[in-house]
């Protein structure tokens, strides 16, 4: 056990260190390594959507196009809000905001850790997260991982508090956070099932009202956007399209995986032209084009899987691995493996130790992490997608379980 006397450090110091670390990375390091690490600023055009929202062009990729149903609204709205507050200072104001999110994420990791260990140990865990490169790597990128990481640790913190004292308002807070996460990325809809499952594990009887409160509140948050999509395309799309394309890409990458299992960009470039040729003849504009592309890609992907059962098994295995480690380049993949593998080993040791002590709350972490991982198995996956749960894995890895004392005593230490 590492015994560091850090109890006198104020928790806000964690926020400051996290913010400054990410800030240095964004403005001093990222510009120097951007090209060698294939680190494109806005590859999915979230920034474009945010800028168009800011200038009153609607949720669209261009002012002369119709609205899109290809992305969820939360992250582009976050970018638009930050740009409005920052006088349209792009991308710098978004970078600063995401650095702040990193600091806040580390602060909430400390608050989470303090539910299990003493203040000194919790401070140590928060500071380790503040300087862990995996957690701030995407601060200078227009991807939603920084926002989702923050929501994820908030979700776990609120969930732990609610499980210690069950209340309807607390359950509603869980539902609100899940709903907001779903508006950023549809795969978080799995949490509408996963979090109630935690209730069944920890409180197996007479908890139906709390389960229903979580699910109902989350769905109420998502429903207005679902109705917006229905008005646009006359089809029920809970958050966004894109599943068909990502399943199709996942099939292609599974087939060509061993040609270069350490470079996602190579696998992508090898297959993307052939995949996009399926929709090259479409002439319709958004949002109808989004729907037509979804149908074409989904039909093609399902045909492939139906005709080759081994491809289904292979893609599940490949995507399950890629989710944790693969980066755009071989160098980035190697760095991710070196940074993540020791954390995974330590987290497994910590999980086993906690479960042997009868610590049921570990199931909350396990269910959320595994549910989020399983939700990505049908789709093309890479190491970026695991980032939202990495603060949880990091926390589990660094927990030092008290020996001979209950967790409750550690919480109040």
- The per-residue pLDDT string of the chain (413 residues; one tens digit each, 9 = 90 and over) reads 445 467 788 999 999 999 999 999 999 999 988 877 667 899 999 999 999 999 999 999 998 889 999 999 999 999 999 999 998 899 999 999 999 999 999 999 999 999 998 899 999 999 999 999 999 999 999 999 999 999 999 999 999 999 888 899 999 999 999 999 999 999 999 999 888 877 777 776 667 888 899 999 999 999 999 999 999 999 999 999 999 999 999 999 999 999 999 999 999 999 999 999 999 988 888 899 999 999 999 999 999 999 998 999 999 999 999 999 999 899 999 999 999 999 999 999 999 988 888 888 898 999 999 999 999 999 999 999 999 999 999 999 998 654 433 333 433 33
pLDDT given at position 283: 81
pLDDT given at position 399: 86
Closest CA to 202 of 370, 367, 350, 409: 367
Closest CA to 155 of 354, 391, 380, 409: 391
Structure tokens, 102: 């990193």
Structure tokens, 15: 């926020």
pLDDT given at position 37: 67
Distance of CA 372 to the CA centre of its chain: 8
What is the residue extent of each domain of the chain? 168-240, 242-413
CA–CA gap between residue 111 and residue 8 (Å, rounded): 15
pTM of the model: 0.92
CA–CA gap between residue 80 and residue 9 (Å, rounded): 35
Alpha helices for 263-307 (secondary structure H) = 264-276, 288-307
pLDDT given at position 195: 84
Going by C-beta distance under 8 Å and a sequence separation of 6 or more, which residues neighbour residue 353? 401
Decide: 333 and 262 in contact? Cβ < 8 Å.
yes
pLDDT given at position 198: 78
The CA-to-CA distance between both ends of the chain, in Å, stands at 16
Helices (H), strands (E): how many in the chain?
19, 0
pLDDT given at position 204: 67
Structure tokens, 5: 């006397």
CA–CA gap between residue 7 and residue 114 (Å, rounded): 11
Dihedral class, residue 342 (left if φ above 0, else alpha if ψ from -120 to 50, else beta): alpha
Going by C-beta distance under 8 Å and a sequence separation of 6 or more, which residues neighbour residue 236? 226, 229, 230
CA-angle at 124, arms to 332 and 149, nearest 5°? 50
CA–CA gap between residue 142 and residue 121 (Å, rounded): 33
Backbone angles phi, psi at 381, to 5 degrees: -125, 150
Closest CA to 16 of 117, 159, 177, 127: 127
Closest CA to 395 of 196, 174, 105, 159: 105
Closest CA to 190 of 165, 157, 163, 155: 155
Q: If you search the block for the tokens 């292979």, which residue do you land on? A: 314
């Amino acid at each position: 056990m590492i015994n560091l006397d850090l109890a006198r450090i104020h928790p806000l110091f964690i926020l400051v260190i996290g913010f400054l670390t990410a800030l240095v990375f964004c403005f001093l390091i990222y510009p120097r390594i951007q090209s060698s690490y294939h680190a494109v600023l806005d590859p999915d055009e979230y920034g474009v959507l945010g800028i168009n929202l800011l200038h009153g062009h609607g949720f669209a990729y261009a002012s002369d196009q119709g609205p899109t149903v290809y992305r969820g609204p939360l992250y582009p709205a976050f970018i638009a809000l930050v740009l409005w507050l920052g006088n349209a200072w792009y991308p710098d104001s978004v970078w600063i905001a995401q650095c702040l999110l990193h600091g806040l994420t580390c602060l909430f990791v400390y608050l989470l850790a303090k539910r299990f260990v003493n203040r000194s140990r919790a401070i140590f865990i928060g500071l380790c997260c503040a300087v862990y490169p995996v957690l701030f790597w995407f601060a200078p990128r227009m991807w939603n991982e920084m926002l989702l990481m923050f929501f994820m640790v908030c979700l776990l913190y609120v969930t732990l508090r609610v499980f210690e004292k069950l209340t309807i308002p607390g359950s509603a807070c869980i539902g609100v956070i899940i709903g907001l996460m779903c508006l950023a990325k549809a795969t978080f809809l799995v949490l509408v099932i996963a979090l109630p499952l935690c209730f069944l594990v920890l409180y197996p009887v007479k908890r139906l009202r709390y389960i229903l409160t979580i699910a109902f509140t989350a769905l109420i948050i998502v429903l207005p956007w679902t109705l917006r999509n229905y008005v646009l395309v006359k089809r029920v799309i809970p958050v966004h399209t894109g599943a068909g394309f990502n399943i199709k890409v996942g099939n292609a990458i599974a087939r060509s995986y061993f040609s270069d299992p350490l470079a996602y960009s190579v696998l992508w470039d090898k297959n993307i032209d052939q995949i996009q040729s399926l929709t090259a003849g479409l002439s319709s504009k958004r949002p109808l084009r989004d729907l037509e592309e979804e149908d074409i890609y989904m039909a093609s992907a399902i045909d492939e899987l139906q005709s080759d059962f081994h491809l289904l098994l292979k893609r599940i295995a490949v995507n399950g691995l890629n989710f944790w480690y693969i980066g755009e380049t071989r160098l980035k993949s190697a760095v991710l493996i070196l940074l993540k593998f020791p954390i995974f080993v330590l987290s497994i040791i910590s999980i086993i130790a906690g479960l042997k002590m009868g610590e049921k709350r570990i199931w909350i972490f396990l269910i959320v992490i595994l549910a989020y991982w399983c939700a990505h198995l049908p789709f093309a996956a890479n190491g970026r997608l695991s980032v939202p749960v990495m603060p949880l894995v990091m926390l589990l890895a660094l927990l030092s379980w008290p020996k001979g004392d209950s967790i409750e005593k550690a919480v109040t230490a």
